[in-house]
Structures are given as structure tokens and as C-alpha cells.
Homo-oligomer: A and B are copies of this chain.
Amino acid sequence: MSDPRGPQPLAPRILAGDIRAASRLMRMIDDGSPGATPELRAIFPHTGQAYVIGITGSPGAGKSTLTDRLIAHYRKAGLSVGVIAVDPTSPFTGGAILGDRIRMQGHATDPKVFIRSLATRGNLGGLSRATGDCIRVMDAMGRQVILVETVGVGQDEIDIAGLAHTTVVVLVPGMGDDIQAIKAGILEVADVFAVNKADLDGADRVVRELNAMLELRHAIRAPPVGMEHDAHHQLTAAEKQERDDREWEPPIQKVIAAKDQKVDELVAAIQQHRDWLERTGNKAVREQSRAGTQFVALLRDRLLEAGLARLEREKGNLAEVSRRIAERSADPYQLADELAQQARSGR
């Protein structure tokens, strides 16, 4: 990977579609290297062309297989594809499992399929910031569709889902009671539900439960302004149109990724959501929300770096401060408020 000419500005090469330059910048992002920022600033004005699809859901749901099928579909349609497999595993394994698995499934020789795993070493957060930055790299390279696959269902994964135009939540039958908690957590971020392994017992039950949750959500949502006092009001065609433009009703699509069944239907459901975003003007709303999610993740990371640097300069390094807190000779709430006060006022 080393370049005999020494470090070069990567941005122009990335904008020309150079895979090696993009790989290098993504590695720098994953490592938290400060050298990534000027490159990201240089490519930023050229981003915003790609369509970003998130694939998320519980472990064992078959997301990687489904991602593989979606790659094949979009390639057949002539589109270039980028895939980011977010894999918050330890440095121990290098976090390459997912990417390797997908890569082995037959896209290895296709230059129009670019797959990277993202692990993000270190324990100071940063995963959703790094994911957002890597999306921009693939976008700047000219990838037309970017698939972002996340393992696990946690707060960070929900943040990452906010980086996509369309988020596909993958469920499978027979995940036990915790499925309730998962479904509740992801209901808000799902634009499309995929019930994978739909040939297994219990698939219909998952569909029924999802439908019930969606109806419940529908029922408790506030009615439009001016209609609050008339629950039995019959919607006119114009009112119904207005509601449909405002609210997206996530479709629930059964699929059997391992047998390549119903994948076209799932792709159609994703396309419906995309059409809805564009037709209703919600695409701009979504883009703004994506930009905000990504900016907050970036700001959080940068502020924490700065705050820890200031802590070290004024109070001692983190290990030393942690020792004093553990011994109850320092007050963490006071320390944090003091540092935050300085960030707030600039004094």
C-alpha cells in the first residue's frame, strides 16, 4: 500500500474514481487520522449524488446475504455500487469479517463493486462519524448506490440509519421475545421492512406483528392541525393526498435472500420510497436531516478530542483524573461542567 512518491493529496484521485486512493482515505478515517480532514473538505463540495440505502437489523437476520443480492441487482441495472459494512468489532479481528464474507461471494473481480468494512478502533465513539465520512468518499468516487450494512441494534446503529436515504430493517422469524424491544427501537427508522427467511415458520407472525405496530403508531399520531376535534372526519381525496405526502407508510416485504427469492420486490419497495421522497419534496427534508445527523456526530467527536486535550493540559491526563474520580477526590460533574462552560462561552 505504500506510495514511493510519499503522501499525495488523495482528493483529486478519489474524484477521478481511484479505488486505491479511496481505500487509503477510508483507512485514515477508520484510524481517526487527522490527515483525513483536509481530504474530506476537498471532496465535500462534490458529494451529494449517491443514493444511500441502509441495511440494518438484529444479528442472524441474514443482512450480508441480502446485501449481496442487492449488489447483484443494482449491478444488473448498470449502476456502480459501494458497500460499507459497519462492524464494531475489536482490533483483535480487525473487523474484516463481514466485508470478507461479502467479497468472497462473487463480486471480487467487479471494479464497479467497492466494499469496505469499517471497524473504528478506540472507545471514544466515532463510529457514526466515520461511517458518514466513508459514505462521502464513495459518493465522491461516483458510486451511484451506496449500501450501508450495520450489525447489531443499538443507539449507534440507529444514528447510522439516519445517514441513509432509505433504511431497510431486516427481521427474521423466531428471534425470541427481545424482538419486541428491537422492533420498537427500529420502528422509527424503518422506511422498508424486509422479513427475511420468509420460508421459515413464524414469518407470517412477524408480518402481523409489524402491521399491528404500524397501525398502533398510525392511531396515536396527532391528526393534522384543524382536524384535532373530529376523530370521525372522513378524509377528502385532497386531505388523503396531503397525508400521504407527509407520512410514509413503511411497506413490509417478505424475502428469502439465500434463495434469491422476492429480491426484486424488495428492490421495488426501496424504489417506491425513493420515488416518494422525490415526488413529495421530502428528499430535501431527508438530506437536511442526514446532514444534521452527520454534523452532530462530527461535532461530538471533535469537541470531545478538544475537551480531553484541554483536560490534560489543565487537570492531568485522563488516567490520572479517572483515578482521582474513582477515589472520590475529584468531582466528575464539576469537571465536565467546567470544561463545557468554557466550550459554551469561549472563555
Contact = CB atoms under 8 A, between A and B. Distances in A.
A286 to B, nearest CB: 9
Interface string A192-213: 0000000000000000000000
B181 A59 contact: yes
A330 to B, nearest CB: 9
Interface stretch (A6-14, A153-161, A259-267): A153-161
A185 to B, nearest CB: 4
Given A181-B97, A291-B332, A302 B155 contact: no
Interface in A67-104: 87-90, 92-93, 95, 97-98, 101
Given A60-B176, A151-B182, A302-B337, 18 more contacts: A37-B337, A58-B58, A58-B59, A59-B175, A59-B176, A60-B179, A63-B178, A88-B185, A90-B187, A92-B187, A153-B154, A154-B154, A156-B156, A295-B336, A298-B333, A302-B336, A310-B344, A342-B343
30 contacts: A44-B328, A44-B332, A44-B333, A60-B177, A61-B176, A63-B178, A88-B154, A89-B184, A92-B188, A92-B217, A95-B184, A120-B155, A124-B300, A125-B125, A125-B159, A152-B185, A154-B157, A288-B319, A292-B321, A292-B322, A295-B321, A295-B322, A295-B336, A296-B304, A299-B311, A300-B303, A307-B343, A310-B345, A343-B343, A346-B347
Interface of A: 37, 40-41, 44-45, 47-48, 58-64, 87-90, 92-93, 95, 97-98, 101, 120, 123-125, 127, 151-159, 162, 175-182, 184-185, 187-188, 217, 220, 284, 287-296, 298-300, 302-311, 318-319, 321-323, 325-326, 328, 331-337, 339-347
